């Protein structure tokens, strides 16, 4: 791995931001993990330059590649934006609409099934009554 560029301006924002938030007053890393991840960020930057000729990664993209993804949280940056109250209300409204639609469909299907069962039952009862009448007629003629 080559040395980091001497000019701070040459490094992408995600590396400068990491360094600024992870080094203390005396330019020392807060912990070993911060320094190790800094080196990985430098390697990512070099790989971007090698593969694409430039590094256009945003801090979110770079941190996700190196630090991994956790829903609603970006390691090194903290929690991501939370859905607004309006967004939560909208989600609840959509869930209620879907629930009502599914319930209506299930009620319709249940009614159709009940109707079919009743028709089948009535047809069988009619067939049994006819058969019984024919048997009674046959018995009375004998």
Whether residues 21 and 73 fall in one domain? yes
Whether residues 42 and 99 fall in one domain? no
Q: State the sign of the Cα–Cα–Cα–Cα dihedral 123, 129, 133, 136.
A: positive
The pLDDT score that the predictor gives to residue 140 is: 83
- Identify whether 16 is part of a domain: yes
Q: What's the rounded mean pLDDT across residues 94-113?
A: 94
- Identify whether 1 is part of a domain: no
- Identify whether 15 is part of a domain: yes
* Domain count for the chain: 2
Q: State the sign of the Cα–Cα–Cα–Cα dihedral 55, 56, 59, 61.
A: negative
Whether residues 12 and 75 fall in one domain? yes
The pLDDT score that the predictor gives to residue 84 is: 64
Task: Provide the residue range defining the domain that includes 64.
Answer: 8-79
Q: Is the pTM of this model over 0.85?
A: no
């Amino acid at each position: 791995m080559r040395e980091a560029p001497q000019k701070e301006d040459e490094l992408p924002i995600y590396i400068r931001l990491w360094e600024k938030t992870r080094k203390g007053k005396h330019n020392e890393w807060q912990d070993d993990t911060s320094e190790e991840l800094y080196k990985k960020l430098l390697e990512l930057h070099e790989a971007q330059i090698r593969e694409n000729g430039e590094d256009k990664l945003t801090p979110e993209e770079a941190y996700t590649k190196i630090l991994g993804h956790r829903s609603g949280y970006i390691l090194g940056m903290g929690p991501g934006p939370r859905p607004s109250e309006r967004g939560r209300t909208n989600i609840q409204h959509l869930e209620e609409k879907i629930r009502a639609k599914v319930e209506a469909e299930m009620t319709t299907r249940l009614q159709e099934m009940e109707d079919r069962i009743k028709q089948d039952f009535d047809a069988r009862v009619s067939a049994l009554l006819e058969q019984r009448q024919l048997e009674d007629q046959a018995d009375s003629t004998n």
